[in-house]
Structure 1
């Protein structure tokens, strides 16, 4: 009887651990390319483990890359896969060269992804895309993606906070200091949270892409609100 009781406890504990293991996601870095490609370089994290969670995460990452490589209206991107979007980008460049054979302008695209925070509750990933289609300068854009670690679903910024207004009030002094340190001329009385917000090891990072709130020459504006200031307003715990 003593043996049977302990066996039942052990089996129950094993099942519990196995179920928890299924929820865990591991990331590996992969390089994505196609044949006949010489101008697009993509290095991104790929989620592995629980198939449902991994599929949600990987699909969103892929959609972000497809959008970045589309040189038309990003919301109207028609490619069904990253590989297809790479081929489309190369084909459009070849068409450009054929139409303007004497031009010295070159196209290139570099897209890199990084897991910047991971816990049992939330995963934050940064996608940095630099795309140059021969203009005066290329386009640099950083996207933060936040995922529910238990489901793989994207977490909207509004769902990161219990009280967005209170967090905004807490974040503003850090924004003001960043603007002052960079010697940027902005109306700091008007302050809106950026579209890119994510967890990091040091705190909540807020990032404004080029041209989002300031001229191109200003570049990216980025700052961190430490967890000891942000924690009262966060839905997901920081570890």
Structure 2
């Protein structure tokens, strides 16, 4: 093989190798999920496109969230698909109306999601679930799901930090500032604990406590943001 041909062969091999190892960026579309007889459930969540294993795992986690959010009977949860749970929710409402025809109570379920943050290493998705099944008021729950952008696997909250205890000490003053003018908090600022929901956003790291987590219903959701410029040194995956 002549030197010129040899060089061409090496360049060709390097090009093929780069093409094989190049990571395809995960993209998302919005999907509305319903069934033919559905009248009270509205679902709009992101869908990871591509069909590769990363997209499949992300979509499985999103679908599982929706299935759980639609569980009317938490003591006997259904193992069905989203469509089955939508129909079950509608059926439970019909049964309720048949049992209490004089009731003016309307049931509803609204589940929405959005991609809050996406980088080559992490994807954060916010999911809000509002259900009203006849109580004094509906229940709104916001959930952050953080995914490893390389594998599609969920990242648990404790895996976000290099040292969780150090991050707690660091984040405590931000929490104290957020609640400084609030009353009737369940949590003593001196015994600060992290919320279940921590996610990445364009503005920084969001820490969010849902209704009833640390305060009465009237206080609503409590959240605060820590800029990445201050939080990155505590994180296993840096934000922008």
What TM-score do the two structures reach when normalised by structure 2? 0.93
Where 1:49 maps in the other structure, the secondary structure is coil
Residues paired across the two proteins, number = 236
User: Once the 2 structures are TM-superposed, how far is the Cα of residue 14 of structure 1 from its aligned partner?
Assistant: 4.1
In 2: Cα distance, 1:50 partner to 1:68 partner:
25
Corresponding position of 1:214: 215
Unpaired runs of 5+ residues, structure 2, are none
Root-mean-square deviation over aligned CA pairs: 1.5
- What whole-Å deviation, never above 9, does each CA across 1:153-203 have from its counterpart, x for those lacking one? 10110100001111111111111111114x233321111000001111121
- CA 1:80 to 1:4, structure 2 compared with 1: closer, same or farther past 3 Å? farther
In 2: Cα distance, 1:202 partner to 1:4 partner:
51
Corresponding position of 1:172: 172
Where 1:142 maps in the other structure, the secondary structure is strand
Q: Is the 8 A contact 2:115 2:126 kept in 1?
A: yes
- What whole-Å deviation, never above 9, does each CA across 1:28-70 have from its counterpart, x for those lacking one? 0010000100100000000012521111111111111111111
Alignment of 1:1-239 (within 5 A): 1-22=3-24, 24-73=25-74, 77-181=77-181, 183-186=182-185, 187-239=188-240
In 2: Cα distance, 1:14 partner to 1:113 partner:
38
Query: Which of structure 1's runs of 4+ aligned residues deviate more than 4 A?
Result: none
Q: Is the 8 A contact 1:170 1:229 kept in 2?
A: no
In 1: Cα distance, 2:5 partner to 2:221 partner:
64
- What whole-Å deviation, never above 9, does each CA across 1:121-158 have from its counterpart, x for those lacking one? 11100000110112110000001001100100101101
User: Once the 2 structures are TM-superposed, how far is the Cα of residue 78 of structure 1 from its aligned partner?
Assistant: 1.6
Q: Is the 8 A contact 2:112 2:128 kept in 1?
A: yes
Unpaired runs of 5+ residues, structure 1, are none
Where 1:12 maps in the other structure, the secondary structure is helix
In 2: Cα distance, 1:8 partner to 1:210 partner:
61
- Higher alpha-carbon Rg: 2
Where 1:170 maps in the other structure, the secondary structure is helix
Q: Is the 8 A contact 1:66 1:77 kept in 2?
A: no
In 1: Cα distance, 2:61 partner to 2:90 partner:
23
User: Once the 2 structures are TM-superposed, how far is the Cα of residue 3 of structure 1 from its aligned partner?
Assistant: 4.8
Q: Is the 8 A contact 1:208 1:221 kept in 2?
A: yes
